[in-house]
Amino acid sequence: MKQGISHLRRLEAESMYVMREVASSFANPVMLYSIGKDSSVMLHLALKAFYPSKPPFPLMHVDTTWKFRDMIAFRDETAARLGLKLLVHVNEDGVKRGINPFDSGSALHTQVMKTESLKQALDKYGFDAAFGGARRDEEKSRAKERIFSFRSATHAWDPKNQRPELWRAYNTRINKGESIRVFPLSNWTELDVWQYIMAENIPIVPLYFAKKRPIVERDGTLIMVDDDRMKLKNGEKVEERLVRFRTLGCYPLTGAIESEADTIEAIVAEMFTARTSERQGRLIDSDEKASMEKKKKEGYF
């Protein structure tokens, strides 16, 4: 808009609108908090949308037990600092079965400890709406998703039969057992997220900033040795390397990039020269063709 509001303010306002619609239309919403930069932005927007009240829904983290230790510390510190209710769900059955990313493979680990675990948690608390921080610029099947994305009672997504979504007239109606996944950051790009973090001074996990970290190079990916559960293979050795992460997940499945960017400004500058997408560091996306769509149909966020 010519004399109107800036690009970021427009995105901010759109996201706040979405969050307020959810608070008004659902009985039992929850915010899926994955601790990453997008979750940090999403949480910040929720604080703004409901100020001076606190967001009228809890945060929930689906913990695979393989997250970086820094992430868990940041999660607990954030919830305490803001005085928000935080639910943490672990698929105990998966833990008992000994599912882990090294031996089980990334596909099974993700299926059991993330997708199944998420469904368990949603069923356990009976949430009828769940916010996720996904953006349409991340991945091809995400680009197709609605802001209010309907899920059947079995949490399935039917991409070929999505509800038309016109204007801001979001259809929030569901029958018992069904739910809506809500993506308030749909129209944000990775660059928007970083610019906003910079403009608003939003706290993020230190892993995003470059630092010397213990790294093993495995299959061309730089894996950080975050704890002693990581066993070295023949010929592998741990090196201190100056790295940072563009995206955060389970540490054995998240590739680091070599970088000297240790401030937000430097990260944004680096973004302009980046030649790979942020999801490239995610080993789980490249398991099989159309793998994100497949996971989403099964209930993954």
Partner 1 sequence: MSAPAMTEADAAIPSLKAFLAAQEKKSLLRFLTCGSVDDGKSTLIGRLLYDSKLLFDDHLAALKRDSKQHGTTGGDIDFALLVDGLEAEREQGITIDVAYRFFATDKRKFIVADTPGHEQYTRNMATGASNSELAVVLVDARKGVLTQTRRHTYIASLLGIRHVVMVVNKMDLAGFSQEVFDRISTEFSEFASHLGFQSRVAIPISARFGDNVITRSDNTPWYHGPTLLGFLETVDVETSLADTPLRLPVQWVNRPNLDFRGYAGTIVGGRVRPGDRVAVAKSGRTTTVERLVTMDGDLEEATAGDAVTMTLRDEIDISRGDVLCAADSRPDVSDQFAAHLLWMAEEELLPGRQYILKLSTSTVPAQVTALKHKVDVNTLEQLAAKTLHLNEIGMVNVSLAQPLAFDSYRENRDMGGFVLIDRFTNATVGAGMIEFGLRRATNVHWQALDVNKDARAALKHQKPVVLWFTGLSGSGKSTIANLVERTLHAEGRHTYMLDGDNVRHGLNRDLGFTDADRVENIRRVAETARLFVDAGLIVLVSFISPFRSERRMARELMGEGEFIEVFVDTPLEVCVARDPKGLYAKARAGAIRNFTGIDSPYEPPENAELVVRTEDADPARNATAILSYLKANGYIV
Provide the minimum distance between the beta carbon of 204 and partner 1 in the complex, in angstroms, as a whole number: 17
Angle, helices 69-82 vs 37-50, to 10°: value is 10
Pick the closer one to partner 1 by CB: 89 or 142: 142
Provide the minimum distance between the beta carbon of 145 and partner 1 in the complex, in angstroms, as a whole number: 9
| Structure tokens that stand for 207 in this block | 């892993």
Q: Which stretch binds partner 1 (CB under 8 A): 66-74, 173-181, 212-220, 225-233?
A: 173-181
Q: Are 199 and 45 in contact (CB under 8 A)?
A: no
Site string for partner 1, 70-89 (x = CB under 8 A): --------------------
Provide the minimum distance between the beta carbon of 248 and partner 1 in the complex, in angstroms, as a whole number: 18
Q: Is 1 in the site for partner 1 (CB under 8 A)?
A: yes
Q: Is 293 in the site for partner 1 (CB under 8 A)?
A: yes
Judged by CB under 8 A, the chain residues 88 through 147 that form the site for partner 1 are 136-137, 139-144
Pick the closer one to partner 1 by CB: 167 or 231: 167
Q: How far apart are the C-alpha atoms of 142 and 134, rounded to whole Å?
A: 8
Provide the minimum distance between the beta carbon of 260 and partner 1 in the complex, in angstroms, as a whole number: 13
Q: Which stretch binds partner 1 (CB under 8 A): 107-115, 205-213, 237-245, 264-272?
A: 264-272
Judged by CB under 8 A, the chain residues 16 through 35 that form the site for partner 1 are 16-17, 20-21, 23-24
Provide the 10 A C-beta neighbour count for residue 196.
22
Q: Is 175 in the site for partner 1 (CB under 8 A)?
A: yes
Q: Which stretch binds partner 1 (CB under 8 A): 63-71, 117-125, 234-242, 262-270?
A: 262-270
Provide the minimum distance between the beta carbon of 17 and partner 1 in the complex, in angstroms, as a whole number: 5
Q: Is 63 in the site for partner 1 (CB under 8 A)?
A: no
In the list 27, 81, 98, 169, the residue contacting partner 1 (rule: CB under 8 A) is 169
In the list 168, 212, 229, 258, the residue contacting partner 1 (rule: CB under 8 A) is 168
